[in-house]
Structure 1
């Protein structure tokens, strides 16, 4: 269910990450190579990116398949960014939310995506939903498990939790409430990426930088590039698989992996 990707690095056209590579996200929408659940990701897609001197990302989302959207093809060709999060969706259940249910979800400086499914939805999630302030619960973007997971993560972010802690604590609570759930989460604020491997594949790629400028205000001749994705977009030797039950936190120059513990009964 779903494929997603986030990239931090020198500014480049969105298509260089999402379209051009042989097994890029666009191709993963109809021919993923390592997807364990579902076969085609045609139930919507979305791209979020950051521009120079603006911490609030832009988004482009649609309810249909990414390969059928000619406007996206033009957008990917000309829009440049050094911080991107994108996803193609395979819906767990049919719903009426359409574009609103397509990742990335967004609030303030953050972009978020969920690859997976919450076991026993929606009954299993009711106790966790009850912990949210009513206004945040009513403000959910869609009526799906991914939107609730985002609401839980967002609540922690607004309380001041760092990206990695917000994901790790949310996954622990969700796994305890709904054992057997698949909780691969992906989050960025344009300067760092946090992700969890919990029930599906996750990979990362790091490359040394050759460009001084980025889209988020940081500069330096050694600025690097980091990609975190459900699966590699090419067959290059630099890709590394993230072990299951792991939290990843990355910047343009560093990747840290931390094991996640199964919740106790």
Structure 2
């Protein structure tokens, strides 16, 4: 499966979020420890971050360890909030930059680690649930994750909270698929908070005095990393800390 990470705290170089730590996101792209079913996350990567309230992105359809230009640029860019994603493409979906995450809609960034079970049989219903894709250009990407993003974006447009939109998306998709084999591990940010679901894979959180982290796998050996039970919803912001509840 893919791997993703969310960070919220003092401005931090993007280089630290991707390359720092003995089990960095870069290392997880070729040597993940907890992923199910694959040993490589080499089908693309992306980083989304915030500056002055605006969301920016860098995405590529190549392994993160091969992009020496981004490694250099990442040293020069710092952000107080970011989402990092590395991709292992599900069979049947293309390796294309449009499929690399995080996806973006306004100030919201979104990443999906996993797959939609029985996608071919429910794609039409998912598109109906997503609504008008023209409002979310990234939702047109030829991959199941893009429709999950479109569904979450629809809930957000209707006024649902960041975490609530992810929970509603999981509930709606599972109702359509009948809980078929799949994984709905979602991560989102709006620049001031993070939210995530864990359904069918690993997830960890780390609460530091001035920073919050959510990640598929710990990026280092800090004992502050805590596992999140499968079937949970995570909401995190600097004012309230990390809150975890069942989906």
Partner of residue 109 from structure 1, selected from 103, 107, 110: 107
Aligned-pair CA distance for 1:56: 2.1
**How many Å separate the matches in 2 of 1:57 and 1:77?**
18
In structure 2, the partner of 1:67 is 65
**How many Å separate the matches in 2 of 1:136 and 1:60?**
22
Aligned-pair CA distance for 1:181: 2.1
**How many Å separate the matches in 1 of 2:133 and 2:24?**
38
**Structure (1 or 2) with the greater helix fraction:** 2
Aligned-pair CA distance for 1:168: 0.4
Within 5 Å, give how 1:240-255 maps onto structure 2.
240-253=226-239, 254-255=241-242
In structure 2, the partner of 1:197 is 198
Cα deviation per residue 1:200-223 (whole Å; 9 max; x = unaligned)?
A: 000000111xxxxxxxxxxxxxxx
In structure 1, the partner of 2:75 is 77
Give the root-mean-square deviation of aligned CA atoms.
Answer: 1.5
Larger radius of gyration: 1
Q: How many residues align?
A: 243
Within 5 Å, give how 1:115-126 maps onto structure 2.
115-126=113-124
Matched, 1:57 2:50: no
SS of 1:130's equivalent in the other structure is: helix
Cα deviation per residue 1:110-166 (whole Å; 9 max; x = unaligned)?
A: 000000011111322322311333444894231110001000001111111101110
TM-score where L is the length of structure 2: 0.94
In structure 2, the partner of 1:206 is 207
In structure 2, the partner of 1:212 is none
TM-score where L is the length of structure 1: 0.88
Matched, 1:41 2:41: yes
User: Which has the higher mean CA deviation after the structures are superposed, 116-125 or 40-49?
Assistant: 116-125
